[in-house]
Amino acid sequence: MRFIHLLSKEARLKLIELALFRRSAKELAEELGVSPAAISKYMSGKMHPSDDTIRKLFHILDPGEHVRAYTIILEDLAYGIEELLEYVSTNGVDVLGDREFQSILKALYEYLGEYIRNYM
């Protein structure tokens, strides 16, 4: 689940907040195998949940929470791609002329189009 490793600190916090909507901090800590102090540190921004903690989070979420969690993740990944493209264009790098870059963008576009057609 490489996508977990790519998540921003902000997205990780949103996932913890999502889980806390229906659980107390103590319950969530027990379910994730962390201390209640760790949950408090996540919420205050002093620490962020590890990849392993986020993986465990997916095992405890109910189906409705999964839908919201996937939305948080997609928004975060989309924002990251948007930032990358903006950075590249701002710094005058001609990646659009690069075949490999074009190939990756095309594959992403085709995959998203197919996903939307099949699931929406």
52-101 pLDDT, tens digit per residue, is 999 999 999 999 999 999 999 999 998 998 888 888 778 767 776 778 88
Q: Which two tokens stand for residue 4?
A: 């977990």
Structure-model confidence comparison of residues 109 and 40, the more confident one: 40
Report the 3 state secondary structure along the chain: CHHHHCCCHHHHHHHHHHHHCCCCHHHHHHHHCCCHHHHHHHHHCCCCCCHHHHHHHHHHCCHHHHHHHHHHHHHHHHHHHHHHHHHHHHCCCCHHHCHHHHHHHHHHHHHHHHHHHHHC
Q: Which fold has domain 2-93?
A: 434 Repressor (Amino-terminal Domain) (1.10.260)
Q: Which two tokens stand for residue 95?
A: 């990646």
Does this model's pTM top 0.85? My answer is no
Domain-by-domain residue ranges, the chain?
A: 2-93
Give per-residue pLDDT as tens, 21-65.
999 999 999 999 999 999 999 999 999 999 999 999 999 999 999
